[in-house]
Structure 1
Amino acid sequence: MNAPTRRPLHAWLLALATAVLLVGGCTTMEPVRGPSVSRVDPVVSQAAALLASGADAQQVAALLGQLDDATLAAQAAALPAGDPLYNHMARALLARGLPLPRPMDRAAWGFDAGARPPADRDGYRPPLKLGVLLPLSGDLAAPAAAVRDGFLTAYYAESRRRPEIAFYDTHGTAGGALSAYDQAASAGNDFIVGPLSREGVDALFRRGTLPVPMLALNQGNAAPPAGNVSFALSPEEEGVAAADLLAERGARRVMVINAGDENARRSTDALRARLAELGGVVTDVVGAGIADLTPFAQKEGGVDAIYLAMRGPAARELMPRLVMAGLSGKPLVATSQLLSGTGDSEEDRVLDGIAFPAESWTSGRNVPGLPAAASVGPTLPTARGAAARLFAFGHDAWLLTAYLERLAQSPDAHVAGATGGLAIDASGKVLRTPAWSTFRGGYASPLASAGN
């Protein structure tokens, strides 16, 4: 087992940031009184049985999507406190822009800040001693370096009390993550950040109760045990955000064109589930290489919008076919993969008008505590190109670590981070609201009208 690897303060880190972004405020939610409910709706009964059988959240959400707004609100209000179905119904209400009968139930998850000094007025309450689990060697060492440097940038930008930090090498494997966690726990750390791999996160979360709480830097199949948190830049998150944006634009019938890889599949599944919650539907899912899109455009009911889950070069090749099928005037929303393979403004002009999710920092928006991404990239390899997204992710991992108690205790609390708006749901999952960008004149630019 490797000894912890410590990283001292580097001169270039001191030059990167001068302050840290403070936590947004929280408000008190007044209960919403719905109409009295004399019986449980059959759909709600089915959803409860589905949840009890071990179904995932997307399956439950799709079923609840069959309820109209009034029924959903009334049935949610009628559920007793602590009912495991309530949080699922609450998320469905929020997705439709409806108020909650009461805040989400957080008692089952909870978070204990232990013996930390009292929080500052803004909610800042970092750990006393912090262990960070990252694959410092092996195939994942390069992306881990970007996460590490972003984390340390935010850490050293904070002028208040900071915990002692030790880094532990996970080698990028599930077994390495388990060993590194045990070493960090036995070293007296009162909080742990990491690991980075989905396999490592699953291996730790399947242990159940963990002696030291952690902020996992990925989301696997296992839910966070009580008091633990998972944070990821996931394809599912992008699919949900895309469905919300399309719903805001009045699109209910969405055609999906994707590359057929795992990321495309995961984002498409999440888009489909969230659209169902919002009363929409995915009309068709077709491959990026399809020659003729006209039959899909002419189907009964038509197509309101197109969702593109593919890289930039494939999207450029697709655009003439959308024009020929009469679909180019429809709202076009893509995954963040759209940026991959772009950079030539002349070639990328064909992508003008496509909306895609992005990180606040990398899309040119101001993030207090961080200089502009364009000024950092030229001097720091781990903050430029594709690595910049992971750098922003690492930055936000520190913010979550420092403000976790406030986020856990206040349903409306949020942090405006480098990757977007951050909050925590009642199950310990970090919810990220991405910024939105688009192409203008062949250049990626912030999309101010997309609810950023």
Structure 2
Amino acid sequence: MPMTLPITRPRACRPASNWSVAGKLLAPLLLVALASGCVTSNTRPGADSSQAASHPAVSQARDLARNAATLAGAARKDNDRQIESLLAQLDDATLARESAAMPVGDALYNYAGRALLHRGLPLPRPFDRADWHFSTTTRPAADADGYRPPTRLAVLLPLSGSLASAASPVRDGLLAGYYGETRRRPEIVFYDTSGSVGGALGAYDRAVSEGSDFVVGPLGRDEVDALFARDSLSVPVLALNRGSGHPPSGNASFSLSPEDEGIAAAELLLARGAKRVLVIAGSDDSQRRATASLRDRLGERGAVVTDVTSDGTADFAPFAQKEGGIDAIFLAVKGDSARALTPRLALAGLAGKPRVATSQLLAGTGKADLDMALDGIAFPTEAWNNRSVRSLGNAASVAQVLPTARAGGARLFAFGHDAWLLTAYLEHLALAADGRVDGATGTLRIDGFGNVLRTPAWSTFNSGVVVPLSGDGLR
């Protein structure tokens, strides 16, 4: 049974416009769902090495990294991909050694550090942020765990119009984290990007003019690009989507992107020794993006996607019988499609192969007698489905009292909660070599370019019921 806490609103909390009434109604419900506590971050000492980099791939990647600052748009993306491909040629020990040998200011270090984090390896030292001007001079000093929230927080969301249904769980998740924190909290003001003159840009300008010292949002990808295209942003931003390029210096972006799921799935498969992977994918945009990301990452690390075929394929035997065989299967499909695939994969002799899916596997599930067909498939989930988050509780308890934390809204609710955490821990995450925070969506870090990296939790089905994936790997 959820713990009921006293209702204590911060003195300066003032939701904007018509959300002031909603905030008063939401706070008691949120407090019923929350357990007291604070988020902590773990500390590990960094490595130190004076050994000079000598691997040929490192030298090539360094030349490209030095040139990156002069590039933009598609040219910058292509340059970054070449760097990532070169670094992917290094095994873990070599990547760690070469990274530790890079001096401060080495143009390649931030790329190498991001590669380390994607592989779950520690940074030898913090990312280089010489041009990352993140001012916190108006904030009180940080707590021992790095907690240092802004003094006035602006949140830019489409609170009306066609996107309001997607924004509501994000808003409620952010408020859940906010009310679940017992320490100092900022004044918080919501701005409706759908109803503001000038849209997201106008909402940002208004937030700045009214004294906000940190901005969360906007939510739309085009809005993020438009905001980040400005020559300078006087107040730092945590965008709630990934733009077409890196955030400007001093700003960050956070998203639940299909590309990140593809990378996470590739790393899990690589860690289990899979070198030849069959991909079965649907046709929607997120499924295609996850597949492309997985293919790129496997290719960079010396593995291969043998084929990409649709979930409508009747006979998988030709794929299974190719020379070299298949080590594992990646499923970028929804649950009902995955259930239908199971007998066809068995007929092709692929029933015993490890299977990894995207989070879309959960769509259309919920009946254990049917979902037993999904037993053993690994898929990324929000961490709060597997464990309690100290400032929030677990997913089931919150969903009992908050409709926006249920079903399809649960993922966006967790996303909103973690946006709050990032506002309070951004400086710590950005400046510490071991900066991390355990959120509702997973473990959060920030790379050297201002992108939030999320390590998801992994789950599977057992007798048709979702359970955390055990540490002994895939089956």
TM-score between the two structures when normalised by the length of structure 1 = 0.91
1:220 aligned residue (217, 229, 243): 243
How big is each residue's C-alpha offset from its partner over 1:195-227, in whole Å with a ceiling of 9 and x where there is no partner?
A: 111111111111142111011111121311111
* Residue from 320, 342, 356 that aligns with 1:333: 356
Give the one of 392, 401, 415 matched to 1:379: 401
- After superposition, the CA RMSD in angstroms is 2.6
User: Match of 2:3?
Assistant: none
Partner of 2:309: 286
- Gap change, CA 1:313 and 1:58, over 3 Å in 2: farther
Cα distance in 2 between the residues matched to 1:30 and 1:110: 26
The answer to whether the Cα contact below 8 Å between 1:174 and 1:200 also exists between their aligned partners in 2 is: no
Shift in CA distance, 68/422, structure 1 to aligned 2, threshold 3 Å: closer
| Cα displacement (A) at 1:377 | 1.8
**Within the alignment, does 1:439 sit opposite 2:461 as a pair?**
yes
**What is residue 238 of structure 1 aligned with on the other side?**
261
Whichever residue aligns with residue 161 of structure 2, its letter is G
Counterpart position of 2:147: 124
The whole-number CA distance in structure 2 between the counterparts of 1:421 and 1:36 is 30
Deviates more, 1:184-193 or 1:9-18: 9-18
Equivalent of 2:213, from 190, 213, 237?
190
1:69 shift after superposition: 5.8
The offset of 1:350, in angstroms, is 0.5
Structure 1 stretch displaced more, 8-17 or 379-388: 8-17
Counterpart position of 1:412: 434
Contact kept in structure 2, 1:437 and 1:444, CA below 8 Å: yes
Q: Does 1:401 align with 2:418?
A: no
Residue 55 of structure 1 aligns to a residue whose secondary structure is helix
Normalised to the residue count of structure 2, the TM-score between the two structures is 0.87
Bigger CA drift: 259-268 or 272-281? 272-281
Equivalent residues, number: 448
Q: Distance in 2 between matches of 1:436 and 1:376?
A: 20
Q: Distance in 1 between matches of 2:342 and 2:57?
A: 48
Distance 1:389 1:312, change over 3 A: same
Which has the larger displacement, 33-42 or 19-28? 33-42
Contact conserved, 1:151 with 1:391, CA < 8 A, in 2? Answer: yes
Partner residue, 1:21: 38
CA–CA separation in structure 1 for the residues paired with 2:195 and 2:245: 18
Instruction: Establish whether residue 109 from structure 1 lines up as the match of residue 126 from structure 2.
Output: no
One-letter amino acid of the counterpart of residue 357, structure 2: A
C-alpha contact (below 8 Å) 2:148/2:425 kept by paired residues = yes
**How far off its partner does 1:48 sit?**
4.1
Residue aligned with 2:34, SS: coil
**1:260 has 2:283 as partner:** yes
Letter in 1 for 2:270: A
Q: Does 1:91 align with 2:108?
A: no
1:126 aligns to what SS in structure 2? coil
SS across alignment from 1:24? coil
Indicate whether 1:313 and 2:336 are aligned: yes
Contact conserved, 2:34 with 2:398, CA < 8 A, in 1? no
Q: 1:359 to 1:450 in 2, by over 3 A?
A: farther
Return 5+ residue gaps in structure 1 as ranges. Answer: none
In structure 1, the partner of 2:7 is none
Within the alignment, does 1:155 sit opposite 2:178 as a pair? yes
Offset at 1:300?
1.8
Indicate the residue corresponding to 1:146 in structure 2: 169
Amino acid at match of 2:224: V
**2:438 aligned with 1:421, yes or no?**
no
Q: How far 1:59 moved relative to its partner?
A: 4.2
Distance 1:359 1:97, change over 3 A: closer
> Is 2:191 the partner of 1:168?
yes
SS class of match (1:301): coil
**Structure 1 residue 101 displacement after superposition:** 5.7
Distance 1:450 1:227 in 2: 40
The 8 Å contact of residues 58 and 86 in structure 2, kept in 1 or not, is answered as: no
SS of the equivalent of 2:444 reads strand
- Of the structure 1 ranges 152-161 and 29-38, higher mean CA displacement relative to structure 2 is found in 29-38
Q: Are the aligned partners of 2:48 and 2:101 in contact in 1 as well (CA < 8 Å)?
A: no
Check conservation: 1:43, 1:64, Cα contact below 8 A. no
Q: 1:281 to 1:440 in 2, by over 3 A?
A: same
Q: Counterpart of 2:454 in structure 1: which amino acid?
A: R
Specify whether residues 174 and 222 from structure 1 end up closer, same or farther in structure 2 by C-alpha distance, changes over 3 A only: farther
What is the CA–CA distance in structure 2 between the aligned matches of 1:58 and 1:174, rounded to whole Å?
A: 38
Matching of residue 137 in structure 1 with residue 156 in structure 2:
no
Per the alignment, do residues 243 and 172 of structure 1 end up closer, same or farther by CA in structure 2, a change over 3 Å counting? farther
The whole-number CA distance in structure 1 between the counterparts of 2:445 and 2:160 is 31
The sequence identity of aligned pairs, in percent, is 57
Alignment correspondent of 1:357: 380
Deviation at 1:36, TM superposition (A): 5.8
Structure 1 distance, partners of 2:41, 2:199, is: 36
- 1:448 paired with 2:470, answer yes
Residue 24 of structure 1: CA displacement?
A: 0.9
Counterpart-to-counterpart distance in 1, 2:132 and 2:138 = 19
Task: Kindly provide the amino acid, as one letter, of the partner of residue 169 in structure 2.
Answer: A
**Contact 2:39/2:391 (8 A) holds in 1:** no
Task: Call closer, same or farther: CA 1:381–1:97 in 2, change over 3 Å.
Answer: closer
